[in-house]
A and B are shown apart, each in its own frame.
Chain A
Amino acid sequence: SEEEATKDEL
């Protein structure tokens, strides 16, 4: 989901 994709950064 867009949500997941945006929280993979530090």
Chain B
Amino acid sequence: TALNNRHGKRHGKKTKSRCSKKALHVNFKELGWDDWIIAPLDYEAYHCEGVCDFPLRSHLEPTNHAIIQTLMNSMDPNSTPPSCCVPTKLSPISILYIDSGNNVVYKQYEDMVVEQCGCR
């Protein structure tokens, strides 16, 4: 009963998926960054999407605070929003680019790809 009340869902309405990793294809050319990025011209960055609702699954590695917030939200959605579905583990990618002095630079950029999503 609490679940139905919480979301105020009507029968037959499609439920929003739980917090998970979704595709996000980044095309540097579309961003207009291909004038300084030599490679890669695109990559799979992923993103996190979905709800963090009660009960939280362990694979979402919630913080203690997220558990409390989710519990509070389940009891009274008006008092507290649900916890946020965010990247909890990111990995780097290599980028070859042209710097402001027109030199070719290789750099490993941290936190460019979502490896794991969770509730925070």
A binds B: no
